[in-house]
Structure 1
Amino acid sequence: MLGSILLSSSAQAANLQFWRFDRTQNRLELATDEGIQPRAQIVSNPTRLVIDLPGVKLGGPKQTLPVDGIVNNMRVAQFDPQTTRIVMELAPGYTIDPRQVKFQYASARQWTVDMPRPQFSPQRASAAPPTQAIAVPSAPGVAVVPTLPPTSNGRPTPTSSIPPGSIVVVTEPRPQAPTRPSTGSTNPLPRPTTPLPNPSTSNPKPSPTLPQVPNGKFVVVVDPGHGGPDPGAIGIGGLRETDAVLAISKQVATLLERQGVQAILTRQDERDLDLQPRVDIADRVNATVFVSIHANSFDANRSDVNGLETYYYDSGYNLAKTIHQSIMETTDMRDRGVKQANFYVMKYSSMPAVLVEVGFVTGREDAQRLSDANGRSQLASAIAQGILRYLQRN
């Protein structure tokens, strides 16, 4: 189930760019064009998860989407002039534990909400307090204000009295960090026993100075390859492609945000995501460019095969060339060239799109870099620099 809203920019408020609810994983994802700080609570009779987005304008009519027999519907509406509200309403008799509702952010503009499976318990539902606060982590650069009590009639506390971008500090303990979702596989992949090489002690090349671009003008979708039950390639010492590229992609998104670019990640954790939904995300947010990040592999007995490859399709050549050059300038990787290919996420994207193979997980040189935090950071900085250079020129 998917909800999508594309809005014009506003100097006074953030806009909700897109949202979607994944019924199979009970996960809500949302993205705005400015940093926000959500607030959340559980409201009883019937049980509703209420998420307020202070300082966010919907810019359209209320939307109500049916879900299934347990979750009656998802609603998105303008609660007051300064607050967009998202409500997940459960069927009568169902309830959820507020301590298991877990908020995460890739940046202050991009949030996910993982929810537990609702449980049918009429007694618990009827005995629940009118409102229960949910802990929400503080996004960077957002102010904190004291906890607000619920209103006397038990309705969700309105947020119009809170300055936009403020968090309500709740008194309940913060939930534990979410664990990696099950991949659904009963036979885990074997991990190679070859040890990883020790990180290099030589002096790495300095991180590039990232260029600034006009604030808010560009939207970049960063796509970490694979995920969930698909770990991608597995290399030396059990190095998994999905782990390396997710770490690099998150850093790329953070660096772009710091330079005034809105960065959207297609996934923020180990989850299953088909190819078309990755393309759909880029289309919904009207992305300027699409950058997919992967890692290569070769015969396990050929650890001598290493190097960088960058692929493009049609309009992505200049983007691929610029990113590739930036990585080659910043690292000592072997240059395997810029190549044309018809990979799905590039071929079916409506904007310039590239796929960067950041090295071989089976290569002794590349595996060392991809398994090392400093090596991943160096790659992320180089990719971000290449993207920013391209945006400056186009």
Structure 2
Amino acid sequence: MLSTPLTPPLVHGAAEVETTPRGLRPHRLPQWARAQFPDPHLLMMEGQPSGVRVGFTTTARTVALVTHPSRLAYRGADRPRGSVDLVVDGAVVASSPLADGDVIESDLRTGATEFRPGPAHTTTFDGLPDGHKRVELWLPHNEAVELIELRTDAPVTPVPQDDRRVWLHHGSSISHGSNASTPTQTWPAVAARLGDVSLRNLGLGGNALLDPFVARTLRDAPADLISVKLGINVVNLDGMRLRTFVPAVHGFLDTIREGHPTTPLLLVSAIYCGIHEDTPGPGAVDPETLGTDQVRFVATGRSEEQAQGKLTLRVIRDALASVVEHRADPNLHYLDGTTLYGADDAVAHPLPDGLHPDTATHQIIGERFAAHAFTPAGPFGQPTAR
């Protein structure tokens, strides 16, 4: 087996890669943005490489990627491990779950954490198709990894420039991929594959909060298409009132437009979430479900608090539609998130934890997004000049 040094040109979909004593650590936010608010939860989310992949061309039949994973586990709430997915010439071929690596175990009742170190993990894929091909190794969407070594049975060549349009997306934990089984089964990955675009995913679990440093990251990133999905994190954090939310949305869009004045920009509201449709946050874990087969989330606000400006998903959807209407930007579009997953879907495909969709529902959301956005008449339907 040949060993190829892992270098930044091999890593696609990240803001930057950090050199560590072990190898390379992908980051989805640049260092300057991380420095502005080094919150441990935000840093954990941006360090989970949702949408990031190692990409190259090769004739190899066997490919192995050595990584050092790091994951968060919750005591009393079992969570599946992350995976590395193999994509060959755009088709998902295989998936391999991670083992080993470091774990930070958190007790949801007390907030106490325990760190347990572990060894590196080697992911191996055999029997790749004959001939020259483009290979992508999609990194786990729900665990951080350091990239240590790439081993193949034939030489590899980095792909310097993806000729597909770049789709830059920002959203919450659902966009991040929460509860999807593997990295290529998150709804943005599904939609990107159907739309034949190169994804850069800035879905940040719990952190779609209109942060100015995220807006500046979107502003400065190369993109042919941009989407921003807002609502659920603002509600379940109880982080804003209507008075502050609407101006913050305008400011967020203003910043993006500084770098992308005419790029197609799609503003998407939250999918249907019964606990927060008419009940403000904060959201919380239902303590009665800790230690059961399925932890669930609840809303702790009261519906009547909307009179004081507290936000619910229905209020936010109306506000976002109004923002798009009043900006009169011909390249700015609005998509009601309940067209991706609505009240009827919640009956047929309920959210297992009351907040996040399962893998099958990620597929539905991705297919519906692609059908809306990437069709010829859709907001992302027409190719744009770079």
Same fold (TM over 0.5): no
The TM-score, its normalising length taken from structure 2, stands at 0.35
| TM-score, normalised by the number of residues in structure 1 | 0.35
Q: Which gives a bigger RCO, structure 1 or 2 (Cα 8 Å, sep 6+)?
A: 2
Greater Rg by CA: 1
